[in-house]
Amino acid sequence: MVRDDDLLSVQEARDLVEKAYQAARQFRAFSQEQVDAVIDAMAAAADASAETLAQEAVQETGYGVVADKIIKNRLGSRGVYQAIRGMKTVGILREDSQAGIVEIAEPVGVVAAVLPTTNPTSTAIYKILISLKGRNAIVLSPHPNAFNCTCHVADIMYQAARQAGAPEHVIGCIRRPTLPGTQELMKHRRTGVILSTGGTGIVRAAYSSGKPAYGVGPGNVPALLEKTCDVKKAVADVVAGTTFDNGTLCSSEQALVTCEALREQVLIELAANGAYLLNEQEAAAVARVLITPNFTVNAKFVGKAATVIAQAAGLSVPPQTRVLVANVAGVGREYPLSAEKLSPVLALYFVKDFAEALDRCESLLRFGGMGHTCSIHSKDEARIREYGLRMPAFRVVVNSPSTHGSVGLTTGLFPAMTLGCGALGGNVTGDNVGPMHLINIKRIAYEKRTAASLSGGASAPAPSSQLSAISYQPAAVSSSALTPDKQTISRIVQEFMAHKGVTPSAPSALAPAPSPIPHPPSPAPAVPPQAPPPAVVDFVSESDVRIAINKQEKIHIGPRTIVTPAARDLAGGNDVLVMHHSATSKRN
């Protein structure tokens, strides 16, 4: 029997989304207390399995370090849980009585979650928690090289969610992951939003799917050691960041930039932290191993230890080597190690001063890390602020490893495994993505001012100071004031039309029209005259309609009659206006 994995994957994605959609419809009726009970149960279950899942991830993918993946898994379970536990995501979120606004949470429905091979379990834990916190269902699309460990996360958390009362099929995982299956998941009519973490190709596919999407961009993180920094701690932090889980986070340090004055201290501390300084030939050999001729990262060496990379490059390095460091002369394609490497390999730049350091860090970000992350180590607050203002990155980590700080392990940033790069990186947000990104907010808005007060009752902007001085009062218009009001309105209309360059085709009916030929008075008729035909007016205001309603009269209008929107609305339910299509000359 012929099996087509792509077709099977597509059908599986369709089935999972349809089931998730039905679950989401049930889940949206849950109270905040019910949702939080589900979150409590899932976070506890994921945390209890953190070590097992870390081992499975390293075993299946070959990427990273078990001890570090345990930390990441607990960031997803404990860290995210602590950040969202008291967050209100159901019902009325906020009321502003002064503005007259009430904000209400509305879930997006089905979250299509695309998972990476570098962080397959921690990212799954995190995405499931933030999705269900917003009363959404979620369908995971694992990387084909990590689907066993990713779907194991889904199974553990789904079981816990169900025991806590969550609807059936609220969490799904594609077990035959293929690119067509992932594309079907993203484009499915029931999918509400895409939460994509992975390579540039899959993120672009998410943004081109026609669905709302949160994606991420690559990181090429520079770490600046300013001259006032604690060099010993700063170098240790940079090495800790670039070696954490063998550099599999996009926010891990890719380059260390510092001034010449700190050269000797920095080199001493690098050696003390397990760095091996490559010479020019060794650096070229490592670059050939890590960066392909197409200038992409060689997936074979992503997340591999420094010693493994060195061996592949034909180098002999001490067994305790943690990071390979190469002096790099510039930034760009002619300097392969100036790019993102996703491994414990660090580019090293010595510059003459702070101004040149700023230029170098900015060029690194612009080369391959726009909008992502950068870091600075300094005791000079003014220079920290200058660096933060200058860098095209949405996370500027200060005096901490950028890897740990960017995801909220060592900073107050929201703990997240999806780090937006904003418009600079082609993303819809620069935030650390959380539950509030996966709900919509609808607003009840109470009237704070009447529509009539916006323009003084007129249907168009005032053309003159005379118009702006008129205050519209819909009540208390007496019949005795009818003639003066109409004369005033006629003049205003004429001024407005003149202001707009429109010449009236006939004299206004609201102002007396001078007769070009004087006529002697006619003798009194011998018999009572016939009733004249109805007078067709040129202009109708809301006050005219109110008076007609009070008198139980009709207002006769023609094709050229100007009727204000307020007058038409009021007359609509009272049968006041009578149209005469043939009327062209009769006036009142």
The residues facing 442 across adjacent strands are 104
Residue 520: CB atoms within 10 A of its CB come to: 5
The Cα–Cα gap between 572 and 63 comes to: 72
Residue where the block lists tokens 């620069």: 430
**Quick check: 254 and 347 in contact, CB under 8 A?**
yes
- In one letter, which amino acid is 291? I
Single-letter code of the amino acid located at 1: M
**DSSP classification of residue 362:** H
> Which is nearest to 134 in space by CA: 45, 218, 214?
214
Output the 3-class SS for 518-564: CCCCCCCCCCCCCCCCCCEEEEECHHHHHHHHHHCCCEEEEEEEEEC
479: Cβ–Cβ under 8 A, 6 or more apart, which residues? 547, 550, 551
What secondary structure letter does DSSP report for 215?
-
Give Cα 576 distance to the centre of its chain: 51
Contact predicate 338/348, CB 8 Å: no
Dist CA 122 CA 64 (whole Å):
12
Question: Residue 152 to residues 49, 343, 476: CA-CA distances in angstroms?
Answer: 10, 26, 74
Q: What token pair was written down for 257?
A: 């930039």
Smallest CA-to-CA distance from 190 within 211, 169, 213, 162 is with 211
Helix or strand (DSSP H, E) at 345: strand 345-351
Candidate list 149, 151, 173, 250, residue with the active-site label: 250
Angstrom distance (rounded) from CA 474 to CA 587: 25
Instruction: Give residue for tokens 């860290």.
Output: 79
Asked if 250 is an active-site residue, the reply is yes
**What is the distance between the alpha carbons of residues 236 and 269, in angstroms, rounded to a whole number?**
7
- List C-alpha distances in Å: 491 to 421, 458, 485, 538: 58, 13, 10, 12
Task: Give the single-character DSSP code of 512.
Answer: P
CA atoms within 13 A on the CB side of 175: 10
User: What is the Cα–Cα distance from 69 to 58, expressed in whole angstroms?
Assistant: 8
In terms of Cβ atoms closer than 10 Å to its own Cβ (0-12, 13-18, 19+), residue 33 is exposed
Q: What is the DSSP letter of 314?
A: T
Bridge partners (DSSP) of residue 111 are 138, 193
Half-sphere exposure of 474 (CA within 13 A, CB side): 13
Q: Residue 193 in 3-state DSSP?
A: strand
Phi, psi of 405, rounded to the nearest 5 degrees: -70, -40
Cα 288 from Cα 269, distance rounded (Å): 27
Return the active site residues: 250
